[in-house]
Amino acid sequence: MIPEVKSVRSSGTLAPTVPIIPPSEYWFYGGFGALTLLLASLPYLYGWWTTPAGQVYTGFTYNIDDGAVYLAWMREAARGQFFIHNPFSVEPQRDVLFSLFFFLLGSIVRVTALDAMTVYQAARVVCGGLLLWSVVTLLRETLPGSPARKAAFALVCVGSGLGWLWQIASPEQGPVDLWQPEAITFLSLYFSPLFLAATALMVVFLVAALRWERGGGFGSLWPAMLAGALLGNFHTYDVLSLFAVWFAYRAASDIRSGRVHWHGWLGLALVGLATLPTTGYVAWASVTDPVFRERAFVSKTLSHPLWQVLLGFGLLVPLAAAAALLPKREERFTDSSALRLLVIWAVVGIAVAYIPISFQRKLLMGAHLPWATLAGCGLATLAARLSGDFPKIATAAMIALCLPSNALFLLRDIGRLQANVGSTPHRPYLTRDENEALSWLRENTLPTDTVLVGPDPTSHLRFPGYALYPHLSVYVPAYAGNVVYDGHWSETPNFARKLSQTVRFFRAETDDTFRRELLRDNGIRYILYSNTLGVGPLTDSGGAALPNDAATGPLFVSVPWPRSAVPPYLKTVFQNRELSLFRVDTAEIGPL
């Protein structure tokens, strides 16, 4: 992935020779990496293999909301659309943002005619393999000993923290290894091809930066320039983390040597110039397009307390400290620059997640890698003090102790599949009637047609506290390709208000003038309606009626359109046992 760089002289010293890794060690990386990718795929395989009769597996498990956004972008690209139109918003948009990553995946869908979810999952595995290969390159540049490299690679693959000691029922009250996939490499391998591609580029960037800092020429720098430029488009947040790490490394190196190292600053400046066009374009788009600005800066994804991050890394923290603080520490690394980079990356990678901006939490991506690398070195150092087979036994036991949170994460999601619930209010399995309705929309409507998704009268049974949540709202853009009025908690501006208006629209006592105005003012062309709306009060799992809500009134929706007179401005175009689709007659309510 990164071109080889021979040892060169820098400031009168010889840069370290990259250690030669024997074939047997590469077999270890390949085998352990493949096993990790298989383990990370088990919930998806389980979901497909155990799909209940009469249902369709969507291919999602954890955080269905964001996965549906990615699939919607792929669907747009599969239609040949380069610029992204946010299908979860009805507000006017400039459509200036684009994603090279999802345009590539969508183009593969268009060329191969494969199912979008198949391409998405294949991309997750392929990008996971590329990330793990880039990690091997990082280890080769920083750790001279094979036991340290192997331990570090294993900890990168499966290492997590102490979240398993917390209540699994309330994961967001515990360490980050229970709920934040971008914070843990294994969870990224499980969740998102975008996270994996971005993290691989982060590794390429910093390995190239390290080679340049050791006195390398332009051949060592261009991977960082390319990686930075791609990251500026793929996952712009990561650019902040990378430049913070390199800047801190550069400043610390100058302070340590007592002089300004102009070669290092030149590299930082050149990579900054290469990264500027894509990063600057995203910044310009955030100013130009108010819908994108709302999504990027108004929706809060703030970091949790520091203790949740450190306990989310768990045993990696003391093991990393052992590598950095025990005597003769520089002998455990290829040179002092490798140690310095890993330590600074570990500290700064967490610190940037507390910059006072609205998307703090996203900046934690990649921070797990230096901690796991240092921890592998520390583990190998401590284990080497033992004799006989005990070093191998101790290393394997410690790696096993770092695995439980990841295992529980997967088991929790498999349990959710069995109950057909998600980590958010959306179901991973659709009924065949729901899938049929989405297919009708995909085949008979235009992507620009806006759909109002009606409330789901059973949502509170799956996700307590979310009564009448429009469960299908994220699936319409992802599987049918339409725009939705009430789609996504962060992608939809004023989402809470729109949910309230959706429920009001379907109440029998609502003035019909409100309905007409909502349809007309938001350009709504279709209504996706659950036929069980209005059959009576919402009930709990035992059949008892739920009490009314003091703020919103009766906890049921009482418009029985499929069984009585449908308003004249709605025309039934599709109906099955569970759902009805109405087309809005513009002549009745005025032009859309």
pLDDT in tens, 57-98: 999 999 999 999 999 999 999 999 999 999 999 999 999 999
Torsional sign, CA 162, 317, 136, 331? negative
Give the SS3 label for residue 535: coil
Specify the range with the lowest mean pLDDT, choosing from 28-37, 190-199, 540-549.
540-549
In the predicted structure, residue 8 carries a pLDDT above the cut 60? no
> In 407-516, where do the E strands start and end?
429-431, 450-453, 483-484
pLDDT of residue 421: 93
The average pLDDT across 333-350 equals 97
Residue given tokens 């009168």 in the structure block: 12
Q: Which residues pair with 528 in a beta bridge?
A: 453, 581
In the predicted structure, residue 321 carries a pLDDT above the cut 80? yes
pLDDT class of 4 with cuts at 50, 70, 90: very low
In the predicted structure, residue 9 carries a pLDDT above the cut 50? no
In the predicted structure, residue 471 carries a pLDDT above the cut 80? yes
Q: What is the pTM of this model?
A: 0.94
How far apart, in whole angstroms, are the C-alpha atoms of residue 507 and residue 354? 44
pLDDT class of 305 with cuts at 50, 70, 90: very high
How far apart, in whole angstroms, are the C-alpha atoms of residue 498 and residue 522? 11
pLDDT class of 458 with cuts at 50, 70, 90: confident
In the predicted structure, residue 330 carries a pLDDT above the cut 60? yes
The average pLDDT across 562-583 equals 92
Q: Which residues pair with 549 in a beta bridge?
A: 553
- Please state the domain extents for the chain: 9-57+115-149+172-414, 429-589
pLDDT of residue 341: 98
pLDDT of residue 336: 94
- Using left for φ > 0, alpha for ψ between -120 and 50, and beta otherwise, residue 379 falls in alpha
pLDDT by residue (tens digit) across 105-160? 999 999 999 999 999 999 999 999 999 999 999 999 999 999 999 999 999 999 99
Instruction: State the average pLDDT for the chain.
Output: 92
The average pLDDT across 308-318 equals 97
In the predicted structure, residue 6 carries a pLDDT above the cut 90? no
Q: What are the structure tokens assigned to 222, written together?
A: 């261009």
How far apart, in whole angstroms, are the C-alpha atoms of residue 398 and residue 396? 6
pLDDT of residue 10: 41
Most confidently modeled range among 133-147, 295-309, 550-564? 133-147
pLDDT class of 533 with cuts at 50, 70, 90: confident
pLDDT of residue 12: 37
The average pLDDT across 263-279 equals 98
DSSP H or E segment with residue 14: strand 13-14
In the predicted structure, residue 300 carries a pLDDT above the cut 80? no
- Could you write out the DSSP letters of every residue in 337-355? HHHHHHHHHHHHHHHGGGS
**CATH class of the region 429-589:** alpha beta
pLDDT by residue (tens digit) across 195-247? 999 999 999 999 999 999 999 999 999 999 999 999 999 999 999 999 999 99
pLDDT class of 294 with cuts at 50, 70, 90: confident
pLDDT by residue (tens digit) across 491-506? 999 999 999 999 999 9
How far apart, in whole angstroms, are the C-alpha atoms of residue 519 and residue 592? 8
pLDDT of residue 1: 47
Q: Residue 527 corresponds to which amino acid?
A: I
- Could you write out the DSSP letters of every residue in 183-249? GSHHHHHHH-HHHHHHHHHHHHHHHHHHHHHTT--HHHHHHHHHHHHHHHHH-THHHHHHHHHHHHH
In the predicted structure, residue 550 carries a pLDDT above the cut 90? no
In the predicted structure, residue 13 carries a pLDDT above the cut 50? no
Q: What are the structure tokens assigned to 472, written together?
A: 């299908």
In the predicted structure, residue 394 carries a pLDDT above the cut 80? yes
In the predicted structure, residue 399 carries a pLDDT above the cut 80? yes
